Amino acid sequence: MESYDPMQNPDPAQWLALDEDERIFLVEEFHEREKVDLPNVRLHASFHAVVETQLASGDPPQAVDTFARLLGEGLDRHDALHAIGSILSELMYHATKNPAENADPTQAYIEGLKNLTVEKWLTCGDGVEE
C-alpha cells in the first residue's frame, strides 16, 4: 500500500499487513498532501489509523456497524472516521484523567458507538482532537 485516502476503503489485507507506524505515516502523508492544518498531525493520524484498523479487522464489530450506520445517515467516509475517532479519543481522555472510573474501557467504547449519531457528531464537533 503506497498511499491513503480517507474517502476510499483501503484493502483490508493490505492495511492489516502494514505495521502501526506505516499506517500512521500513510495517514500523515495524506493530510500533508491535502495541506490540512492540524495542531497535532501525529495524534490525528493515530486515531485515523486505529479506526481504519478496526474497520479492516472487523474488531470490534460495533465499530463496523456504527461506521455503516453513520454513512447511511449521510456522513461521508472521512467524517464517519472522525466521528468514531471522537468516541475513542473521548474515552482515552477520560481514562487518563480518571483511570479508576473506567473499569471496562471496551464496553464504554461500544456504548459510545451505539449512542453516536450524526446529529450528536455535528452538535459536539467535527474533529477527532482538533
Question: Is 48 a domain residue?
Answer: yes
Which residue from 30, 70, 67 is spatially nearest to 52, judged by alpha carbons? 67
Question: Is 2 a domain residue?
Answer: no
**Residue 101 gets which letter from DSSP?**
G
Band the pLDDT of 47: cuts 50, 70, 90. very high
Tally of domains in the chain: 1
23-46 pLDDT, tens digit per residue, is: 999 999 999 999 999 999 999 999
The C-alpha cell that represents 60 in the structure block: 470490534
Question: Is 130 a domain residue?
Answer: no
58-111 pLDDT, tens digit per residue, is: 999 999 999 999 999 999 999 999 999 999 998 888 878 876 765 688 898 999
> Whole-prediction pTM value?
0.90
Question: From the centroid of its chain, how far is CA 18?
Answer: 17
Question: Is 65 a domain residue?
Answer: yes
The C-alpha cell that represents 113 in the structure block: 458507538
Q: Angle at the Cα of 52 (from 48 to 57), degrees rounded to 5?
A: 150
Structural domain that includes position 93: 12-124
